[in-house]
Amino acid sequence: MFQYLEVLDGIIETMKIVIAGYGLEGISSLRYFRRVFPDAEFVIADQKAVENAPDGVTVRTGESVFAEQLQDADMVVRAPGVPPRLLKTSGKIWSVTNEFFDKCPAPIIGVTGTKGKGTTCSLIAAILRAAGQTVHLVGNIGVPALDALPNITKDDIVVYELSSFQLWDLEKSPTIAVVLMIEPDHLEVHTDFAEYLDAKKNIRRHQSVVDTCLYHPTNKYSKEVAATPFNGLLDEQGHATCEYCGDDALDFAHRYAVPDEDQVYVRDGYFCVQDRRICRTDHLRLPGAHNLENACAAMSAVAELPITVTDEQYAAGLESFTGLPHRLKFVAEKNGVKYYDDSIATTPGSAIAALRAFEAPKVLIVGGYDKGADYDEIATEIAKQTVRAVIIIGANAAKIEQSLRQASVTATTVVLGQTTIVDVVAQASQLSHPGDVVILSPAAASFGMFKNYVDRGEQFVAAVEKLYP
């Protein structure tokens, strides 16, 4: 970016910078770039109304703002949620994530995937802090990246949660890339799954041969990302340069959660590396086999750093993390029934993981805004599981119900559609028996009935807490 800006030296006072998207990241980027370029003219562009613009900043809004009103910009800084293809400008298109990667002095552990990013990032940070390291957790799970940037030194470590939106046009890759389970998601924003997956590949595409990529042990899309030819293997014409490995990027990647090289895996109730036991798995205070995999990914990422972490520090880090809000979080036990908030589960794969986390009979609350997902796989899982009842809510209720019928699901199915969460919880209470678990794991976005997944989770928690006793 700054090579571009140097051309403007001497006319910096006339430079026009557009902040495209004015959510949390957009507010942060405006604050950051105004500090870096105090003499530039700033414009906020957003498809929605902007109510909190600071004085001295022009605001442009409307459905077509990105296509029609950015031509006079010298630079457009897009927020993660703004697709690059929407931005029509003769100026430079930049991003919050690109700026951070360009300026960050510390090594970056980047974590992507469709599910598990927040948990894995948090586990990495917890282990590193237990080991006495200064850690900055940024991205969707932490503070806005540009807010953290001024406080980062070369001796620190950054853990960055990277969604497809942040990876879309990323020009650098992290030192350590962690690629978790990937499945179709955000198809209401991406043109198709191929575009979504291609965005994910940027976490790998710009690595060097001394960088590391860890990928999921069984997920084919995670493996495909790890197999992406990366800069360190290619010359300017895109041909392989490594005389030892040809163009096989997987030679420079490792699967986590299996006995492979020096990666962490689970055996006989222990986290292990090679044949050495690190610590017991019960140090991890999160339910489900998928969280054991997330812990393996986190511990493997830490092991790739040039620092010493003792077994006791691994155990302390795992034990210190009790889970993130709305991520298969225990809410309460009412009348012998345990309630879990998994509102963050916006894909069928996430809901499947939640179902597999419990052996007890389950009442599942599912449904919401349709992101183009296929619900046949979760319907098949429900048919195999001990599921007492399925309560379907939201705009995609009919679509989910159809998948359940096709899978011959015998569990009691109640379609509530657009209703209140109080009614949903009351229905779950009536359908459950002592010893059951009730799980809000919607496998869909929250829009329509709720502001976002946080609002959905908070309303669920409040409704559960009001149940008697």
The domain that contains 43 carries what CATH number? 3.40.50.720
296 contacts 289 by C-beta, under 8 angstroms: no
- Residue at 134 is within a domain: yes
Q: Give the distance, in angstroms, between the CA of residue 317 and the centroid of all CA atoms in the same chain.
A: 21
Does residue 335 share a domain with residue 316?
no
Does residue 196 share a domain with residue 219?
yes
- Residue at 187 is within a domain: yes
pLDDT in tens, 40-90: 999 999 999 998 899 999 999 999 999 989 999 999 999 998 999 999 999
- Residue at 1 is within a domain: no
Residue that finishes a domain, picked among 42, 61, 95: 95
- Residue at 151 is within a domain: yes
Residue that finishes a domain, picked among 320, 347, 370: 320
Does residue 387 share a domain with residue 279?
no
- Token digits of residue 52: 């909190």
Please, what's the largest Cα pairwise distance for the chain?
A: 73
**Which residues of the chain are under the pLDDT cut of 70?**
1-13, 234-247
- Residue at 264 is within a domain: yes
Query: What pLDDT score does 9 carry?
Result: 47
Instruction: Tell me which residue range forms the domain holding 282.
Output: 104-320
Does residue 294 share a domain with residue 193?
yes
Does residue 166 share a domain with residue 83?
no
Query: What pLDDT score does 12 carry?
Result: 42
> Cα separation of 436 and 339, whole Å?
9
pLDDT in tens, 387-406: 999 999 999 999 999 999 99
Q: Could you give the angle at which helices 24-36 and 96-103 cross, rounded to 10 degrees?
A: 50
Does residue 245 share a domain with residue 168?
yes
Residue that finishes a domain, picked among 43, 75, 95: 95
The number of domains in the chain is: 3
- Residue at 204 is within a domain: yes
342 contacts 329 by C-beta, under 8 angstroms: yes
> Cα separation of 369 and 429, whole Å?
24
Q: What are phi and psi of 418, to 5 degrees?
A: -80, 100
